[in-house]
Amino acid sequence: MTTQTLRALKGQRPIVCVTAYDTPMARCADEAGVDLILVGDSVGNNVLGFSSTVPVTLDMMVHHTAAVSRAHPQALVVADLPFAEAHLDPGEVVRACRRLIQIGGAEAVKIEATAALAPVVERLVAAGIPVMGHVGLQPQRVNVLGGYRRVGQRVPEAEALREDAAALEHAGVFALLAETIDAALAAELTRQARVPLIGIGSGRDCDGQILVAHDVLGWHEGHAPSFVKPYAALHQDICAAFVAYAADVREHRFPAAPKAAAPAPTPDPAPRGKVAQG
């Protein structure tokens, strides 16, 4: 899968996307035939113990992107540009994205962007760096927003989102990710965009869907977003496995006692009437 073959899927079939943060997860996702693997800065919430994506650094993103790329997936590997990196000097932004691609092995980057960042996106594309735009709810701005909520239901927000999507497409993004946008507005943006619009919590009328791997697998504690559908219960299963292991160790059931050695075979006696030589 490349950025161009992904673009060509628009209007042909729904695009399947999921996050991954390490080699085993990337291999499983790729074996399932997903189209795009996002190494999201959501690694902060789901793996590193942070309460938001804000503390995730560029070094962390390069580290986890490299782990995913070592799986050599057929899926397109896209890496998040972390908090505030896109707002640095344009040359610094290019250097940050270059690290994600040259060292991390990403094939594209994702940027939480508005129309104001369209010139930066255009410069990155001109430098040979494919960009996926992220509109709607932008978790890196959680401290400004004051929390997570659905966006685009009010007229000024909806108009701003239309402008963001149009400006980013004009700047050369190969796809858009729309997070927690009003479903009717997401459907409208999907129809208007010439590039695929991938939704997360933005209704069923997008060109594709993406979920965090840990949400798909039921591998999280506490509240999950209302739009999530878990397809497994890994948190419960993993905890139960550790409980069983601990009990076996404490009760001397693991490791198991070695099996008794089989008795050595008795040699056949010499035939009657003959004297054994030796």
Residue 141 confidence (pLDDT) above 90: no
Domain range list for the chain:
3-216
In this prediction, residues 42-50 reach a mean pLDDT of 96
Q: Nearest to residue 40, comparing CAs of 184, 212, 187, 185?
A: 212
Residue 25 confidence (pLDDT) above 70: yes
Task: Please list the residues that pair with 181 across neighbouring strands.
Answer: 151
Sign of CA dihedral 1, 21, 139, 124: negative
Q: How far is residue 42's CA from residue 51's CA, in Å, rounded to a whole number? A: 10
- Helices 23-31 & 58-69, crossing angle to 10 degrees? 50
Q: What percent of the chain has pLDDT over 70?
A: 95
Topology given in CATH for the domain delimited by 3-216: TIM Barrel (3.20.20)
Q: Mention every residue, 6+ apart, whose C-beta is less than 8 A from residue 187.
A: 203, 205, 206
Total-model pTM = 0.91
Residue 81 is predicted with a pLDDT of: 98
Residue 265 is predicted with a pLDDT of: 76
Given a contact cutoff of 8 angstroms between Cβ atoms, the answer to whether 69 and 104 are in contact is: yes
The catalytic position among 112, 179, 221, 251 is: 179
Query: Does the active-site annotation cover 221?
Result: no
